[in-house]
Structure 1
Amino acid sequence: MIEIKEIAENKKQFLSLLLLADEQEDMIDKYIEDGTMYILEDNGIKAECVVIDAGDKVLEIKNIAVLPDCQGKGYGKALIDFIIRKYKGKYSVLQAGTGESPMTIPFYEKCGFIRSHTVKNFFIDHYNHPIYENGIQLVDMVYLKRNL
């Protein structure tokens, strides 16, 4: 049975899971303490999500990751559905930033997100090494949003 719970302390114990979605630890350090972390358990921890208050009634997903052998089983969508239910009425928009990736953009679109805006050269300017996903170098940050 799926259970989602908030993690308030010792969030770094989930670093290996966080690094699946954001592979540079000092970037994670910028939001992990201020963010609210949730883990999804289903006979063990399968996924995590960190959200922050981005201001102006916008809630931002800073990190969402599902263990590689558990992807495609609905765990990521279950986390997003949980976030939507939990924060509906408290925020007006849920947004997420990601690379121009054939894996992540369709996932967010299936969850009801639409493209919002792009931050040029984000991955080049903020990471100390090139970031690749499926053999494609990530350059720009694509923001997607959905109303809550």
Structure 2
Amino acid sequence: MINIYPIFYNKKQYLDLLLLADEQESMIDRYLKRGDMFVLAENNEIKASCVITEEGKGIYEIKNIAVYPQFQRQGYGKKLIFFLLKHYKARCHTMLVGTGDSPITIAFYKNCGFVYSHRIPNFFTDNYEHPIFEAGKQLKDMIYLKISISK
């Protein structure tokens, strides 16, 4: 049985999972306290987590979503996305997510219904202490995707 539930305290107990999606702890610290955190468990085993922040005026942003490697490509990330869209429906009109320019990650979000919004040039090279690579490509720009939520 799959359960998704909020984490109100001691969010850093899931740091190993959070670091899968955001490789630098100081960057996670920027949003973890102000964000809502959820974990997805199946049969009491944690499979995935996410952190979402309110950005104002009905806009929310997925700051971190991660699935343990051994559970990836099994639908857990998608279940979390759809949970968030339903959970925030009453107060959110636009859900954003920022990610690196990786075909794997962008394809995942597009499969969930997100479309391109905008780009922040050099985000990863300007804000991270070391180069970040995904699918053999160094991440430079932050690519923002969005989905509209109709009430």
So what's the TM-score if we normalise by structure 2?
0.97
Q: CA deviation at 1:135?
A: 1.2
Within the alignment, does 1:57 sit opposite 2:65 as a pair?
no
Instruction: Extract structure 1 runs of 4+ deviating beyond 2 A.
Output: none
CA offset digits 1:59-101 (Å, max 9, x no partner):
0000000000101110000001100111112010001000000
Partner in structure 2 of residue 20 of structure 1:
20
Describe the SS at the equivalent of 1:103: helix
The answer as to 2:97 corresponding to 1:96 is: yes
Matches within 5 A, 1:1-148: 1-43=1-43, 44-148=45-149
RMSD, aligned CA: 0.6
Range that drifts further, 21-30 or 52-61: 52-61
The residue identity in structure 2 corresponding to 1:27 is M
In structure 2, the residue corresponding to 1:23 is in which secondary structure?
coil
Cα deviation, 1:4-52, whole Å, max 9, x if unaligned, reads 0000000000000000000000000000000000000013000001000
Matched AA of 1:77: K
TM-score (norm 1): 0.99
Give the length in aligned residue pairs: 148
SS in 2 for 1:130: coil
- Secondary structure of the 1:40 match is strand
CA distance in 2, matches of 1:10, 1:98: 25
Counting aligned pairs with the same residue, the percent is 55
Inter-partner Cα distance in structure 2 for 1:73 and 1:25: 27
Q: Which amino acid aligns with 1:126?
A: N
Quote the offset at 1:102 in angstroms.
1.5
How much has 1:54 moved relative to structure 2?
1.0
Q: What amino acid maps onto 2:79 in structure 1?
A: A
